[in-house]
Structure 1
Amino acid sequence: MKKSTIAIGVIAAVMAAGYVGYTSMFGAKAVQVSADVLNEKFNEYANPEAFISAQDLKNMMGTDADVVVIGALNPVKPDAPIEGSFSMWRNDYSAADGDYAFDGMRNSVDEMEAILSQYGATPSSTIVVYAANSHHDAARLFWQIKNLGHDDVRYLDGGLNAWMGEGFATGNANPTVAATNYVAPAPQVEADGLATLEMVIDAQSSEDWVILDTRGTNEFDGSTTVSGAFGPGTIPGSVHINWTQALNEDSTLKSAEELQALYGDVIKGKKVIAYCQSGVRSAHTQMVLEEVLGAEGIYNYDGSWIEYSYAHYEQTRSEVKVQNGKS
């Protein structure tokens, strides 16, 4: 055998081994989740129809039901989408460069309408959103689509991980479909769950509000500044509840009883503003509070720490105070 042939074989073997290692390290981890257990859990939620199991989604996709499945999947990770679903990433549903002086904001209603039209959705479609491993990006999509006034939006509990755990097909995604002319049924509802910087400032001096910091401990205590933010710290008076505390080890949502124990005393009798780095993890917390616990007056701060730190560190606005920040 020629040395060149041997060398090519060695290189191919190394590349294959590297890909397997990369996939196992960064790819979605399959988990097995009982549909019966999930449905029993969902029935205890305030809005069971906002959630769906992998098994029920598979059955729904196998019928003539008007269902559009959308995965929020990071393209740099080796995750094959659910077969027959559409996949997108944050840049697809975030504001265009130049719209804001900072990153991470949601895109416009018009842009969301264009995306859903491309996917063949109508206002009567069932739209199921999913992600991989941590699933907060699915909650962000959930929030943005609900902000259009779309009624039937569902979160795949366990996401791609649970789908893979059932051995259901992946790949062969982003199908070619007939485009529609999706028109948001009630885009004005966006304001019902959207916190602004001014609301956050006012909430700090009001006993009617509680501000939830859903980030990691290192972000909350100011020891870490995540890329995109303009400095460390937290919003003064924030209550820190990492969004991951709402999850089981298999990445599915905890029971209503467990989530009530986690959040109930903190939010009781209060209106709530949830925030994180850019409104993604906090969208997950908002979904839990509204759809699982049935809480009202829950707002997701879209600008979150990126906007807030910009106002404090770059604009040096005196009314924008920071706790655990730079001296």
Structure 2
Amino acid sequence: MRAIITATELAHELTGSNPPLLLDVRWQLSLAKAAGAPDFDGRAAHAAGHIPGAVFVDLDRELAGTPGPNGRHPLPDVAEFGAAMRRAGVSADRPVVVYDGGQGWAAARAWWLLRWTGHPDVRVLDGGLPSWEGELSTDVTAVAEGDFTPVPGAAGRLDADGAAELARTGVLLDARAGERYRGEVEPIDPVGGHIPGALSAPTTENVGPDGRFLPAAELQDRFKALGVRADTEVGVYCGSGVSAAHEVLALAVAGIPAALYVGSWSEWSADPSRPVAVGADPQ
């Protein structure tokens, strides 16, 4: 099953006999509070205009648990996640397409969670809402309750110890910006730097200027240059398990399975017993 879908393909499928359920997961990682400005309101953006038939899903409340020692976006309670997905209309026998405002990070988080909990057919709209050329709707979408029952474990997941081990035995990719990896700046978490042994691989380099993924062959070349081979075990982390999901998605486009360290740097750096590396050297 392909991990992404183009806007043209989506428009065609929406006219078919089993159209996909659309989930709108518009969200932004915002530092606005520090400047006294309001946070981005994805629900308001959805109400102002969405792909017809889409249902809004709140990343912070429905795709993550309460922030704390396990990170800023820890895994949600599985039962609560399942209930939220059923309210949104998710069923096991209906395909799901997820989109966001174009960055792709939030959509990838929803994609990963649905895959990890066993949904057989979920894809991300490549390029997000900006790629959609059809009309938008302001109507409130009414959907029937879905029947999706999450069963965790269908996709790869790492905890902190697993990430540390993979950095030694396989390839652990850090999807954050290079300056955060090197520890030059850290605007969110208490400590800058990276997990020892992890390689810097900003997720922003997996897409072109239009926000769409690079061709699979180019992504394969990129990850090969980072040491990924056919038999390599790969994991990804970021600040809080959101942009890293986008890199896991890029790896899937390239045909490479990868695990997500959900707690990511926000969990790792909160534990003073965990070692921290700084600079461009992985170690």
- Pairwise same-fold verdict (TM > 0.5): yes
> How far apart in 1 are the matches of 2:17 and 2:139?
18
Hey, what does 1:301 align to over in structure 2? 261
CA shift at 1:138, angstroms? 0.8
Q: Are residue 69 (structure 1) and residue 22 (structure 2) matched?
A: yes
Hey, what does 2:244 align to over in structure 1? 282
Q: Deviations 1:217-253 (Å, cap 9, x if unpaired)? A: 22111122132x2211111122111101110111111
TM-score (norm 1): 0.74
Hey, what does 1:187 align to over in structure 2? 152
Percent identity of paired positions between Structure 1 and Structure 2: 26
Q: Deviations 1:128-149 (Å, cap 9, x if unpaired)? A: 0111131111111100010111
Question: Secondary structure of the equivalent of 1:321?
Answer: coil
How do residues 1-327 of structure 1 correspond to structure 2 at under 5 angstroms?
47=1, 49-74=2-27, 75-76=40-41, 78=45, 80-97=49-66, 100=69, 102-163=71-132, 166=133, 168-184=134-150, 186-189=151-154, 192-204=155-167, 206=168, 208-227=169-188, 229-265=189-225, 266-268=227-229, 269-289=231-251, 291-296=252-257, 298-311=258-271, 316-317=272-273, 320-324=274-278
CA shift at 1:214, angstroms? 0.8
What amino acid is the match of 1:215?
R
CA shift at 1:162, angstroms? 0.5
Describe the shift of the 1:217–1:73 C-alpha distance in structure 2 as closer, same or farther (beyond 3 A). same
Describe the shift of the 1:209–1:101 C-alpha distance in structure 2 as closer, same or farther (beyond 3 A). closer
> How far apart in 2 are the matches of 1:50 and 1:102?
26
- Greater Cα offset, 243-252 or 79-88: 79-88
Q: Deviations 1:190-240 (Å, cap 9, x if unpaired)? A: xx4111001122234x3x31111110122111122132x221111112211
RMSD of the TM alignment (CA)? 2.1
What amino acid is the match of 2:205?
Q
Hey, what does 1:9 align to over in structure 2? none
Hey, what does 1:19 align to over in structure 2? none
> How far apart in 2 are the matches of 1:52 and 1:123?
19
- Indicate conservation of the 8 Å contact 1:82/1:173, yes or no: no
Q: Deviations 1:277-313 (Å, cap 9, x if unpaired)? A: 0111111111221x222224x21110000000001xx
- Greater Cα offset, 50-59 or 280-289: 50-59
TM-score (norm 2): 0.85
What amino acid is the match of 2:173?
L
Q: Which has the higher helix share?
A: 1
CA shift at 1:273, angstroms? 1.5
What amino acid is the match of 2:156?
G
Question: Secondary structure of the equivalent of 2:153?
Answer: helix
Q: Which runs of 5+ in 1 are unaligned?
A: 1-46
Describe the shift of the 1:237–1:99 C-alpha distance in structure 2 as closer, same or farther (beyond 3 A). closer
Describe the shift of the 1:174–1:263 C-alpha distance in structure 2 as closer, same or farther (beyond 3 A). farther
Describe the shift of the 1:98–1:292 C-alpha distance in structure 2 as closer, same or farther (beyond 3 A). closer
> How far apart in 2 are the matches of 1:209 and 1:177?
43
